[in-house]
Amino acid sequence: MLKQHLTTYLLALMFIVPFLLPAQNGFVPRVEELAKKVEPEVIQWRRHLHQYPELSNREFKTAEYVAKYLKSLGLEVQTGIAHTGVVAILKTNKPGPVVALRADMDGLPVIERVNLPFASKEKDVYQGQNVGVMHACGHDTHVAMLMGAAKVLTQMKSELRGTVVFIFQPAEEGAPPGENGGAKMMVEEGVLSKNKVNAVFGLHINSATEVGTIRYRPGGTMAAADRFVIKVKGKQTHGSTPWTGIDPVIVASQIIQGLQFIVSRQTELTKEAAVISVGRIQGGVRNNIIPEEVEMEGTIRTLETGMQDKLHADIHRTATNIAESMGATAEVEIFKYVPVTYNDPKLTDEMLPILVETLGRDNIILTRAVTGAEDFSFFAKEVPGLFLFVGGMTPGQDPTTAAPHHTPDFIINEAGMLHGVKLYCNLALDYLKRH
C-alpha cells in the first residue's frame, strides 16, 4: 500500500512541479525591458486600428497598415493570403524549429457606444444592411500586441534559433455568406505547411478577466460553431383573414421555441454545454400581409462531436415536424464552420512554466471550457496549438459589470496589452529554446 501511495505521489509531482517551478529563463527580463519600451507604440497602433475597423474579408487598410510596419522591421512579408491576410517571417538563419504566433484583424457590424476619443465612426454594408463597424471583440488589441512582439523579437534576433512566423489573420468572425476566408483558408493556402510550422500560439483579450492574469485550459477549450438557416414556407394571404393562408411567422415562432426545448429537455448538459441561438429572423414586407416565407438564421455551439451530430439531427426533426403539424414546410441547412478549439495537452503542460515566469503563479488561472468559438481551431488541428485568454479588465472591477464581447459597450483596459506582448514573445522564445 505504501509503495502504491508513493507511486501516486511521484506521478502527481511530475505534473505539479513544472507548474510550481518557473523555468528561470534569461530572456524573460530582456523581453520585459523591450516590451515596456514598445508599449506606447502598441497603444498608438491599437487606437488607430480601433478608430478604423473593417469587416471580415474587407480588412484592406488594416492589412496595408500592418504590412508596412512589418516591412520596416526588415521581415519577409507576404500579403493577400486568404484575401487580406498578412504573414511575416523572422529567420535567424540558425537551425531550429518554426513557431507561429497568430492575431486576428476583423471588426464586427456593431455601432460603438463607448465614449472614447478614438471610438469608431465607420460604416459599411453587411448582408445588404447598412451597419456600423466596431472592434467589439478586441481584435485591434491582438494586432497591436503581435506587432509589438514582432518588434521585440526582431530586436532579439541574435539570441534566437529557428524561425518565427507572425500570422495576421482576416475573417475570424466568419467570412460573409458565400465567401471563403479566415484561418481555414489560410491553412488551405499553406500558411503552416509551406513554412513548416511546428507549433502555433494564439491570444485573445478578455473583457471580464483582470489585467495581469491569463486563463488557460488543456484539451477542448472553446466550442465548435455551426451556422443554420431555416426557411419556413406557408401560404400568403391578407392579414385580416389569416384562416385563408398559412402563417409562416407563427410557425417560425413555434420552431424557435422548439429549438430551445432541444437544449433544455433533450440534451445531456451535465456532460457538456450546448447552445442554440437564433440571431436573425426575416419575413414579410408590409404590416397587413401575411408573407409566404420566413427565414431564420442562427448558431449552434457544442463541445463534443457526438453532441454536435445529435443537435444537428434534432434541429432538422424539430423544425420540419413543427412546420408540418401547422400545414407549412421547413427547409433546414446546417453549415459546419469552426471545430472545437483544442489546446494540445503536452504543449500546454510544457508552456506552463514560462506562463508562470511571465506573470506569476497566482495569475495563471485554469478555466472551464466556454461556448464561444474561435477559428484558431483550424491552425490547432494541423499542428500542436495553445490558445490563451489575456486579461483586459481593470483590476478590482466586478466581472459581472464588464460589457460582453460583441456588444456596443465593449471596452478593454489597454494596460493588458503589455502582458500580451510579453506572452507572445516568451512563448515563442521558450518553444524555440526547448526544441
Active site residues: 106, 172
C-alpha cell at 112: 460603438
Output the furthest CA–CA distance in the chain (Å, rounded): 83
Strands 224-233 and 293-302: antiparallel
Length of the chain, in residues: 435
Distances (CA, A) of 59 to 52, 112, 194, 342: 10, 18, 23, 27
Q: Nearest CA to 251 among 271, 233, 272?
A: 233
Please say whether the beta carbons of 83 and 183 come within 8 A.
Answer: no
Check residue 40 and give left, alpha or beta (phi > 0: left; psi -120 to 50: alpha).
alpha
Please say whether the beta carbons of 328 and 250 come within 8 A.
Answer: no
The CB density around residue 398, as the number of other CB atoms within 10 Å, is 8
First-to-final CA distance of the chain? 39
Q: Nearest CA to 80 among 56, 93, 63?
A: 63
Distance of CA 269 to the CA centre of its chain: 23
- CA–CA distance, 427 with 128 (Å, rounded to integer): 42
